[in-house]
């Protein structure tokens, strides 16, 4: 399985519009962070977790030429607003694209993009999907078992995903005890690590480091990073097996 980080930034992206701070003005490409998403490639199939507002830019940047499935973590704008841009994959592949999410996220997609889900016949081209409510239960996808991982994003229950020895957990402030048990024996663990200062719905760097100590993955990658963290200076303070993810990073699992 190969992982490609499509975006590693927080909801506003880095640089943040109108911000003159050192990270937003940095010349280091690692400090440019689009909204958070990864692509998982496995035996010729491409699975994307979350279609961010930057989805089009991300897939063009990386030369992604097919899309076989979408997984959604939750329905916040920074995770879904690029959904309409799956249309060229429908047109090229002449297939519907399977979408896996919990019921609340699927209802939000249907409310926000109604034209993609009604049965009206149109002359224009719209996203074509087949939706699957995973109800928090494991499911099979292209020979892989995908385990949804319940997380708390402030008070909102959302999902991360575990696939084999990879777990991708974005947007959480708390990992319930039962979910901690699903995260043992990982090779690669992605964790939300927004910034140093506390936030009501996101994990801090210190809390993410504590999770790494508890869960003991072989490698951990921090994501959903805001402009408080300069890449190089922050990376220099990390333990050996902990990395700040950056856009374009590729990892073999």
CA–CA separation, 117 and 112 (whole Å): 10
Tell whether residue 192 is a contact of Zn ion (CB under 5 A): no
**Strand order through the sheet with 166-169:** 139-141, 144-153, 156-163, 166-169, 188-192, 219-223, 242-244
Question: In angstroms, what is the minimal distance from the CB of 13 to Zn ion?
Answer: 11
Tell whether residue 31 is a contact of Zn ion (CB under 5 A): no
In the bound state with Zn ion, the residue whose beta carbon lies nearer, of 223 and 234, is 223
- By beta carbon distance, the residue nearest Zn ion is 76
In the bound state with Zn ion, the residue whose beta carbon lies nearer, of 212 and 225, is 225
Binders of Zn ion: how many residues, by CB under 5 A?
Answer: 4
Which of positions 72-101 make contact with Zn ion (CB under 5 A)?
Answer: 76, 78
Token couple for 233: 């200076």
CA–CA separation, 238 and 129 (whole Å): 41
Tell whether residue 202 is a contact of Zn ion (CB under 5 A): no
Tell whether residue 247 is a contact of Zn ion (CB under 5 A): no
Tell whether residue 227 is a contact of Zn ion (CB under 5 A): no
Question: What's 63's DSSP letter?
Answer: T
Instruction: For residue 191, report the phi and psi dihedrals to the nearest 5 degrees.
Output: -130, 145
Which of positions 47-76 make contact with Zn ion (CB under 5 A)?
Answer: 76
Q: Is 244 exposed, middle or buried (0-12, 13-18, 19+ CB in 10 A)?
A: buried
Which of positions 149-188 make contact with Zn ion (CB under 5 A)?
Answer: 171
Question: In angstroms, what is the minimal distance from the CB of 115 to Zn ion?
Answer: 24
The residues that touch Zn ion, with contacts defined as CB under 5 A, are 11, 76, 78, 171
């Amino acid at each position: 399985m190969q992982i490609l980080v499509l975006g590693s930034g927080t909801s506003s992206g880095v640089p943040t519009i109108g911000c003159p701070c050192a990270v937003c003005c940095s010349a280091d490409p690692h400090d440019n962070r689009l909204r958070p998403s990864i692509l998982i490639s496995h035996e010729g199939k491409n699975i994307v977790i979350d279609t961010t507002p930057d989805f089009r830019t991300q897939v063009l940047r990386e030369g992604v030429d097919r899309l076989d499935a979408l997984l959604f973590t939750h329905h916040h704008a920074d995770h879904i607003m690029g959904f309409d841009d799956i249309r060229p994959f429908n047109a090229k592949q002449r297939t519907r694209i399977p979408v896996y999410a919990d019921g609340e996220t699927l209802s939000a997609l249907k409310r926000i993009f109604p034209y993609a889900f009604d049965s009206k016949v149109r002359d224009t081209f719209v996203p074509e999907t087949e939706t699957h409510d995973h109800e928090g239960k494991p499911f099979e996808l292209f020979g892989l078992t995908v385990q949804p991982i319940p997380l708390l994003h402030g008070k909102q229950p959302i999902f991360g995903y575990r696939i084999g020895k990879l777990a991708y957990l974005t947007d959480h402030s708390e990992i319930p005890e039962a979910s901690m048990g699903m995260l043992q024996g990982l090779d690669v663990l992605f964790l939300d690590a927004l910034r140093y200062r506390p936030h009501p719905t996101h994990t801090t760097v210190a809390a993410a480091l504590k999770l790494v100590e508890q869960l003991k993955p072989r490698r951990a990658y921090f994501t959903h990073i805001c402009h408080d963290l300069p890449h190089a200076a922050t990376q220099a303070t990390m333990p050996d097996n902990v990395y700040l993810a950056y856009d374009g990073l590729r990892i073999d699992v």
